[in-house]
Structure 1
Amino acid sequence: MEIGEALKITRKKLNLSQSEMAGDILTKSYYSKIERGIHEINARDLIDILNLHGIRIQDFFEEFNFEKNTFGKSNFDNLHRLVGNAYYQKDTDGLLKVIDAIDKFPNSQNNRLARGLRVEAKLLYQGLKYGPEKIDDETIREVKQLMFNSDNWDELSLTLLSVSLSFFKNDELSAIIKAIVTRNKPDKLTSRNREIVSSILINYLAYSYNRKITKGAALSLTFSWLSELDSSPKNCLTKIYANYFQMLLSGNKEKANQIRQFLNDNGMEDLTRYLAR
């Protein structure tokens, strides 16, 4: 169930209008679009609305996911979406609110999913607040511990790797990338894990370009893996990014600039702003 739909059900149970549910936190118009699934709600606003009406976020998720007094996969999925939204919107307060919400689950200290999401939110918070170079050693150690505390590259391990590439030396990261692409063929992955691996590989291409690494087995395997993605709409942007970095790494900046301009011409300036040049 989407968060907007869950909010609508909760509002009706409380016998509130949309204006009363949104309070002073959101306009009625914007809140209405969240209930209808047109807009997503960010972490800070969701938690503030729930607090306004005396609803704990863990109770809110548990009611709609039937996971009583525990942190489970559906809690992870919902809160992870909030973490992603908060990071994209540079909302450090939202990230702190998600961390606080995770801590309130009774089993969060001993639950790998809860600990993984918490340290991801913490890492992103520190990166936004102080800069990537100021992320503390304890957070980096916890990320690596959780990432490698599994025999397989599961969703959590892949997610943590996607936000921590810059912490690794090139030889370490090259070995990790080779392991991932050889063990996880695109057609064998769930759609979610395929999306995460695609993100990791695009970030690895940016990592390589920024460090002037233009050759190597890991790079060749990366481009080969990305070329195996089908040409469905959900993979289009990934394939464009792969082509962009292939042009950069081969020294064809003129072609790379054409790709960047194409994205800008189609209203994607927010995405190209963070692309390596």
Structure 2
Amino acid sequence: MTIGEKLKMQRLSLGLSRKEFAHGIIDESYLSYIEYGISEIRVNNLIAILRQNNLSLISFLADFGNVDFSLSFYEKSATAAYVAHDDEKLNKIGQACPNTLTKVVIQFMYAKLNNQLEKFPKNSNARIKKVFWQMKQWNTDYLWIFSNVMEIYSFKDLEGLVNSVFHNFSEPAKYEDEVVKLLARISLNYLEICLSQKNIDNREVKKANTYLKNLPAIPIIAFEKTKGVYIVAVHRHDQKTVRKIARVLK
């Protein structure tokens, strides 16, 4: 069974037309090409369709055994589970992932979700850090890893890595949405970490906040931009802005 055939089977079991099943994600004619194996579906679109129709990603994948999904598939699936606070699904994705480094990162995400970072193995921390010591150039995989493991670094070391990201991705309007999303997550995470320090470095706060503000105003990063405004308003005791945004974030 192909992914397209499984999607068709799920769609028909729900009694939905192609337009209803993929509403707002992909065109119904393109879905028909996917169902008949003429075209392939992008990972983010597959995840979005399953989520929109309340279908389990893990159950969907069960029929495919050891099929070699792309690394991006596991990264995006893990991110979706983490954002949904679904630690059970996150754990299953980590177990299924064939890439050992990505598996370690997902284990870190699981520990973070369950407030168990102090129990995360030190040798795993070292393994993650080694990746960035040896890295020659940033790419989406490195950005994804970094966005999820920033807590393992001291603030001084983190500052250097964030500077590298901001320097190497200084023209965000030119990047694909996937990259912009990762940059938004990194800048928001860094902003939160800056504001959690005992001695807050306002220069770093400003740097992170400015970078986040300068990212393109696109729907995919609306949450990160809004959350950034919110936490800065909390820091500045701007209660009017805090109350206004709190209603949106609920």
Do the two structures share a fold, i.e. TM-score over 0.5? yes
Please tell me the residue identity of whatever aligns with 2:117: P
1:11 shift after superposition? 7.1
Cα deviation digits, residues 84-138 of structure 1 (max 9, x gap): 23223433343333233333xxxxxxxxxx2332122121223335622322212
Q: Is the 8 A contact 1:7 1:35 kept in 2?
A: no
2:91 matched residue in structure 1: 96
Measured in 2, the distance between the counterparts of 1:236 and 1:153 equals: 24
**Aligned residue among 47, 53, 59 for 1:45:** 59
For these two proteins, the number of residue pairs brought into alignment is 220
1:212 shift after superposition? 4.3
SS of the residue corresponding to residue 161 of structure 1 reads helix
Question: 1:79 and 2:74 equivalent?
Answer: yes
Measured in 1, the distance between the counterparts of 2:79 and 2:15 equals: 20
Measured in 1, the distance between the counterparts of 2:151 and 2:10 equals: 44
1:241 shift after superposition? 1.9
Q: Is the 8 A contact 1:147 1:158 kept in 2?
A: no
1:156 shift after superposition? 1.9
1:140 shift after superposition? 1.3
1:196 shift after superposition? 0.5
SS of the residue corresponding to residue 118 of structure 1 reads helix
1:9 matched residue in structure 2: 5
Question: 1:56 and 2:65 equivalent?
Answer: yes
SS of the residue corresponding to residue 53 of structure 2 reads coil
Measured in 2, the distance between the counterparts of 1:30 and 1:202 equals: 41
Measured in 2, the distance between the counterparts of 1:255 and 1:122 equals: 36
**1:117–1:89 distance in 2 versus 1, CA, 3 Å:** same
Percent of aligned pairs with the same amino acid: 15
Question: 1:246 and 2:241 equivalent?
Answer: no
Please tell me the residue identity of whatever aligns with 1:154: N
Measured in 2, the distance between the counterparts of 1:233 and 1:91 equals: 23
Please tell me the residue identity of whatever aligns with 2:207: L
Please tell me the residue identity of whatever aligns with 1:95: L
Question: 1:127 and 2:136 equivalent?
Answer: no
**1:235–1:86 distance in 2 versus 1, CA, 3 Å:** closer
Show structure 2 runs of 5+ residues with no match: 23-48
Measured in 2, the distance between the counterparts of 1:101 and 1:89 equals: 19
**1:247–1:93 distance in 2 versus 1, CA, 3 Å:** closer
**1:116–1:156 distance in 2 versus 1, CA, 3 Å:** farther
Please tell me the residue identity of whatever aligns with 2:58: R
1:213 shift after superposition? 4.7
The equivalences for 1:65-214 within 5 A come to 75-103=70-98, 114-129=99-114, 131-185=116-170, 186-214=172-200
Measured in 2, the distance between the counterparts of 1:9 and 1:144 equals: 41
Q: Is the 8 A contact 1:155 1:193 kept in 2?
A: yes
Q: CA RMSD in A?
A: 3.2
Measured in 2, the distance between the counterparts of 1:246 and 1:211 equals: 14
SS of the residue corresponding to residue 259 of structure 1 reads helix
Measured in 2, the distance between the counterparts of 1:32 and 1:135 equals: 46
1:18 shift after superposition? 4.6
Measured in 2, the distance between the counterparts of 1:11 and 1:197 equals: 31
Cα deviation digits, residues 192-237 of structure 1 (max 9, x gap): 2221011011111111222245434332222222222233333433
Q: Is the 8 A contact 1:92 1:125 kept in 2?
A: yes
TM-score, scaled to structure 1: 0.66
Please tell me the residue identity of whatever aligns with 2:65: R
1:253 shift after superposition? 3.9
TM-score, scaled to structure 2: 0.73
